[in-house]
Amino acid sequence: MSSQSSGTGQASVTLSFKAGTDPDEAVQQVQNQLQSAMRKLPQAVQNQGVTVRKTGDTNILTIAFVSTDGSMDKQDIADYVASNIQDPLSRVNGVGDIDAYGSQYSMRIWLDPAKLNSFQMTAKDVTDAIESQNAQIAVGQLGGTPSVDKPGAQRHH
């Protein structure tokens, strides 16, 4: 077992199994253990979710996306790939893992302490406001009712 973490808040734990181990069974066992441990993880991790994937160490194919007419910069291309291509491609039979290089849109916010003070706000107030407007909402479960108990979720009749 090995693990890595980044300054962006991402973490990766890699498990290696003995030769001859059924990879599908191993993934299922890891998923079961993870589900039993989820309630012990920080709320932010539970909200964002944890993914279990079976992968190999060998890259078989590398694909580069470009804008031939120059209408998209590298940020736009990376966001398009992450939003429209990466997930469907990961579902193709035989695809073990997809690493997308580049970066999706993000925000970097610098706070002005004097302005915060004039509005009687703290950095935590700003963080809470951003998180409330950027909710990761589950769509429900197969055969179940939609999840509408999250902030920002709406029920349509």
Q: 1, 15, 79, 3: which is closest to 53 by C-alpha?
A: 15
Q: Which one is predicted more confidently, 41 or 120?
A: 120
Say if residue 101 is in the same domain as residue 114.
no
Last residue of some domain: 17, 39, 54? 54
Structure tokens belonging to residue 100: 């997308």
pLDDT for 53 equals 73
pTM (two decimals): 0.42
- Domain with 8 in it: 1-54
Report the SS3 class of residue 17.
Answer: coil
The confidence band for 69, taking pLDDT boundaries of 50, 70 and 90, is: very high
Residue 149 has pLDDT above 70, yes or no: no
The CA distance from 147 to 144, in Å, is 9
Say if residue 32 is in the same domain as residue 11.
yes
Say if residue 41 is in the same domain as residue 2.
yes
Cβ proximity of 135 and 151 under 8 Å: yes
The CA distance from 4 to 64, in Å, is 26
Q: Which one is predicted more confidently, 129 or 134?
A: 129
The single residue listed with the structure tokens 């979710």 is 49
pLDDT for 17 equals 83
Say if residue 79 is in the same domain as residue 122.
no
Say if residue 101 is in the same domain as residue 113.
no
Say if residue 32 is in the same domain as residue 67.
no
Q: How many structural domains is the chain composed of?
A: 3
Which neighbouring-strand residues pair with 2? 14
pLDDT digits over 102-122, tens only?
A: 766 667 788 888 999 999 999
pLDDT for 121 equals 93
Structure tokens belonging to residue 94: 């035989």
The CA distance from 41 to 37, in Å, is 7
